[in-house]
């Protein structure tokens, strides 16, 4: 008689013959009561438990059948012993005897049958223990998988929120189930498991241990834009898409639909695509870069203001015209960040952004429109505190793809945001010789701005108010003594344009503050101010503002595109000689509707004034028959090139008269003249998108 134990439960003594079935039944009940297949286990484990229960039940039934046959032998008579022996012999034949060995009898005794029953029951017990351990191990593994799933979901949320690399918690190993005696001996004999291959090190995007600079909400700033999310961003790449289309109605109604004197307003009475850009920012293991391709009108109107590609070889305009930003660099985890970047990057001079979506108005004032939109060179950005940036530049020149003369430009910015409602920026530029054809003439410029958010009540209908104030001052100096290109040259004391009678062809040195020594004053002075009010949780906004500019020498006054003129070609109809005057002022009122952070609908009314004829009038600025390919020459009344440029008006008149233009060689009607006005009023409707 033997005592059998399952899970700490000891049933009564079991007789070896008739009570085997009772032992097996009691044992299974004990296993069930001890929750071997607990109903609280998840559904996959329930299914597995059902399969295990079925397999276990079949194994136990087979064991009972074998045990019953073996245990029935002692109760049978001697007459039935031989059939039982034959059955046993058929089912499990003994091994063949060795030669030379004599056995007295091959019939098993009663003592030999009794251990067989015990071994069968012991094997059954071991099998049940093994199955119980497997179920426990599976349950523990399921719990570990559940924990891993929760950790992965949390990590995914952090990555989508833009928190950089996320360190996942280590997986919790399942508690090992106790081994049976046979399994323990097998485990001791098993060879050691080889070490797992270490996981590949995760590459971070950009590390700034002390935190990124300028935390908080700065979407109220002019030039910053009101988008706060980037739904397509990944850990390493933040894509960017921009589209800007406008319809501008110029009340001068130029017949060629051409507008001049701005870097945002180009065509009248037409829908035009001003900008279409795609690109983004890349950050991988502290290596950084940005590319923003640019097409639309910006791809033509921006390069034409740079004369430096005319110096030397290679088509720099063609190389760069389709990118507005293209640079690469590295980020060091020093203080709150240290970056070194090289390539084409946006200029901060003039406060407004290069991209209209980011600005409070569509057409900024002269202080912004007439100052650089980009630089080509090297910059260093250092953030000693989360509120301060120091950024020096070494660049080719003043919004130029190349150097204009022998010296590069130097400059820098200091940006300070002491509180979430206050922003100060100081930009300075100097050293560069930026007038093509005038070596030795250097330029300096200072641009300072303040932005203040003076009202912020998100729960109110009028929820936010802010203003900006920008002041600029600069000049050019040097370039040698007084000099004229022709013997009859003379400075016009009033700095009038050529169509008003001036004939100066000055190409000598200039002064920064006055006309001392006969060298004309070459300077820039201007300011602009804007006030913006937001309504209904920033869905609507109204901006009022404007500015003034005085620029004797016109070195920062934008050249009108008369007959296709560029900064390099120039035009005899609007000169940029030293001493030529240029005084202007403007004002705008802008209404923005922003139903989403990714789009802005704009309606703007603007007025601009110049003290010399400058804006396109009804007659337009295109010669009859279209551009003749010689923008630096006077055009005849027929539209053909005269063959003579600025300083040779009389020769141009004679040539045009000889070609059948005008009524006499000295008549002004032999020459075509653009229709330039002193004022411009326009209405702008624009749709701007940014992702």
Q: Does the pLDDT at position 428 exceed 80?
A: yes
Side-chain half-sphere CA neighbours of 402 within 13 A: 18
pTM of the model: 0.71
Least confident of 22-26, 223-227, 362-366, 620-624: 22-26
Give the pLDDT score at 476: 93
What pLDDT band is residue 78 in, cutting at 50, 70 and 90?
very low
Q: Does the pLDDT at position 609 exceed 90?
A: yes
* E strands in 149-219: none
Mean pLDDT of 387-411: 94
d(CA 498, CA 263): 24
Mean pLDDT of 31-43: 42
Percent residues over pLDDT 70 in the chain:
71
Q: Does the pLDDT at position 56 exceed 60?
A: no
Mean pLDDT of 447-471: 97
| Token reading at 586 | 């403007």
Q: Does the pLDDT at position 265 exceed 90?
A: yes
d(CA 431, CA 442): 6
More confident residue, 493 or 597: 597
Single out the residue of 314, 348, 568, 547 nearest to residue 437, CA to CA: 568
Q: Does the pLDDT at position 8 exceed 50?
A: no
Q: Does the pLDDT at position 368 exceed 50?
A: yes
What pLDDT band is residue 42 in, cutting at 50, 70 and 90?
very low
What pLDDT band is residue 87 in, cutting at 50, 70 and 90?
very low
Question: What rounded mean pLDDT belongs to the chain?
Answer: 80
More confident residue, 518 or 690: 690
pLDDT tens digit sequence for 312-321: 999 999 999 9
Mean pLDDT of 250-256: 96
Give the pLDDT score at 437: 85
pLDDT tens digit sequence for 651-668: 999 999 999 998 888 777
Give the pLDDT score at 667: 79
d(CA 583, CA 398): 21
Mean pLDDT of 45-72: 52
Q: Does the pLDDT at position 399 exceed 50?
A: yes
Q: Taking the CA atoms of 127, 131, 137 and 140 in sequence, report the sign of the dihedral they define.
A: negative
Sort strands 374-385 and 388-395 into parallel, antiparallel or unpaired. Answer: antiparallel
The enclosing H or E element of 45 equals: helix 43-71
């Amino acid at each position: 008689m033997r005592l059998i134990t399952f899970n700490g439960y000891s049933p009564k003594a079991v007789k070896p013959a008739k009570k085997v079935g009772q032992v097996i039944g009691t044992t299974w009940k004990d296993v069930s009561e001890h929750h071997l297949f607990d109903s609280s286990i998840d559904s996959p484990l329930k299914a597995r438990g059902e399969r295990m229960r079925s397999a276990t039940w079949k194994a136990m039934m087979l064991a009972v059948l074998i045990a019953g046959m073996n245990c029935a032998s002692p109760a049978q008579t001697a007459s039935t012993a031989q059939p039982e022996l034959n059955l046993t012999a058929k089912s499990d034949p003994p091994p063949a005897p060795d030669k030379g060995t004599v056995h007295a009898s091959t019939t098993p005794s009663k003592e030999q049958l009794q251990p067989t029953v015990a071994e069968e029951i012991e094997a059954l017990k071991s099998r049940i223990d093994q199955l119980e351990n497997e179920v426990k191990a599976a349950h523990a593994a399921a719990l570990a998988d559940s924990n891993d799933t929760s950790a992965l979901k949390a990590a995914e949320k952090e990555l989508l929120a833009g928190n950089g690399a996320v360190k996942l918690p280590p997986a919790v190993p399942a508690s090992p189930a106790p081994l049976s005696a046979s399994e323990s001996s097998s485990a001791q004999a098993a060879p050691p498991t080889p070490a797992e291959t270490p996981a590949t090190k995760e590459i971070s995007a950009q590390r700034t241990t002390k935190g990124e600079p300028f935390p908080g909400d700065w979407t109220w700033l002019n030039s910053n834009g009101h988008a706060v999310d980037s739904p397509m961003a990944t850990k390493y790449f933040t894509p960017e898409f921009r589209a800007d289309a406008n319809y501008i109605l110029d009340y001068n109604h130029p017949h060629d639909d051409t507008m001049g004197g701005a870097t945002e307003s180009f065509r009248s009475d037409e829908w035009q695509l001003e900008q279409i850009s795609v690109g983004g920012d890349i950050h991988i293991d502290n290596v950084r870069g940005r590319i923003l391709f640019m097409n639309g009108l910006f791809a033509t109107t921006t390069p034409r203001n740079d004369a430096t590609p005319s110096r030397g070889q290679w088509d720099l305009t063609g190389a760069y015209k389709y990118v507005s930003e293209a640079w690469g660099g590295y980020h060091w985890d020093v203080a709150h960040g240290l970056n070194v970047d090289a390539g084409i990057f946006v200029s901060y001079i003039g406060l407004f952004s290069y991209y209209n979506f980011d600005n409070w108005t569509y057409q900024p004032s002269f202080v912004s429109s007439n100052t650089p939109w980009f630089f080509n060179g090297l910059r260093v950005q250092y953030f000693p505190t989360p509120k301060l940036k120091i950024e020096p530049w070494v660049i080719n020149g003043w919004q130029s793809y190349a150097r204009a003369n022998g010296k590069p430009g130097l400059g820098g910015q200091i940006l300070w945001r002491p509180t979430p409602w206050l922003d100060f920026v100081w930009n300075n530029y100097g050293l560069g010789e930026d007038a093509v054809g005038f070596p030795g003439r250097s330029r300096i410029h200072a641009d300072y701005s303040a932005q203040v958010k003076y009202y912020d009540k998100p729960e109110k209908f009028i929820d936010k108010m802010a203003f900006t104030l920008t002041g600029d001052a600069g000049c050019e100096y040097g370039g040698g003594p007084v000099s004229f290109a022709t013997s009859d040259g003379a400075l016009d004391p009033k700095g009038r344009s050529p169509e008003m009678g001036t004939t100066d062809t000055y190409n000598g040195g200039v002064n920064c503050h006055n006309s001392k020594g006969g060298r004309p004053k070459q300077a820039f002075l201007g300011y602009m101010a804007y006030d913006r009010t937001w309504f209904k949780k920033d869905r609507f906004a109204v901006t009022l503002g404007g500015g003034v500019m005085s620029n004797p020498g016109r070195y920062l006054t934008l050249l009108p595109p008369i007959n296709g003129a560029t900064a390099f070609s120039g035009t005899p109809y609007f000169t940029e000689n030293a001493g030529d005057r240029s005084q202007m002022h403007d004002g705008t009122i802008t209404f923005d509707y922003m139903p989403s952070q990714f789009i802005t609908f704009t309606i703007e009314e603007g007025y601009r004034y110049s003290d010399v004829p400058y804006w396109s009038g009804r007659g337009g600025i295109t010669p009859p028959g279209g551009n003749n390919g010689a923008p630096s020459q006077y055009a005849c009344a027929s539209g053909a090139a005269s063959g003579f440029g600025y300083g040779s008006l009389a020769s141009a008149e004679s040539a045009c008269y000889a070609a059948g233009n005008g009524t006499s060689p000295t008549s002004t009607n032999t020459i075509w003249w653009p229709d330039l006005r002193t004022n411009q009023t326009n209405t702008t409707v624009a749709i701007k998108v940014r992702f």
